[in-house]
Amino acid sequence: MKSKNLSNLKTTTGSKQLMKLTLISKLDIFRDLSDEEVEQVEAMVRMTYCKAGHVFFSPDEKVEVLYMLKKGKVQIYTINQDGRRLIIDTLGPGTFFGEMSLTAQSMQESFAEAIEDSLICVLGRSDIEALIMYKPIVAIRLLDIVSQRLRLTRLRLEETVLQSATIRVCSTLLRLSQDSLIIRITHQELADTTGLFRETVTTILDELQLSGILELSRKKISIKDRSELQRITEM
């Protein structure tokens, strides 16, 4: 939906409806919809507020809805064989997640948990099925994104089995520093992302700092030599 249309809607719709319209129009899976079709989807969507710590789904549950994140952060993670959390992805505003069996590609082994207070829009299975029947391109967009996330899940799990602890930490730091050489993350969060114990991560980070590759401060890691990090991952 074009921004000028959203501006016009400000005078005729409530703030909650406008927030839903803005979110839907920005989601990649709905980018082929017309303005009128976006408004039809908005009418199907309900908005809800969730506190940090709320678990949207777990491996034991069958949830067939699409969650769209308007505000906050949601973490997708699994529990590895040692009983430790392994973060698959951290989602921010303008993304979606959910247990979508209708795509034949679900996240049955995953948890989804709000790590910040979040504003969520929810679209039910029957509404999505009706939308897909009317607009099949939505299913194609949905499958593309779900497939990417499943590949990411497999990659994370393979890393925990095939890579050494040092390489896992360095690979994760490289991935997190693609947009900025300053990474705001705690040692525990990095441990959860790599599937390692916090003590192991702290030892590796201390060694990398002594080597001049990075600099540590409270809840922040500054990358000083990204090329050396890359070299370590290729050893």
3-state class of 117 per DSSP?
Answer: coil
Query: Tell me, what's the pLDDT at 148?
Result: 80
pLDDT above 50: residue 11: no
Comparing 195 with 149, the larger pLDDT belongs to: 195
Query: Tell me, what's the pLDDT at 159?
Result: 73
* Domains of the chain and CATH, by start: 47-160 (2.60.120.10), 163-233 (1.10.10.10)
3-state class of 193 per DSSP?
Answer: helix
3-state class of 111 per DSSP?
Answer: strand
Res. 201 pLDDT band, cuts 50 70 90: very high
Got the DSSP string for 19-71?
HHHHHHHH-GGGTTS-HHHHHHHHHH-EEEEE-TT-EEE-TT----EEEEEEE
Over range 148-159, report the average pLDDT: 76
pLDDT above 80: residue 105: no
d(CA 9, CA 23): 14
| CA 59 and chain centroid, separation | 17
Res. 100 pLDDT band, cuts 50 70 90: low
- What sign results for the dihedral spanned by CA atoms 148, 151, 157, 159? negative
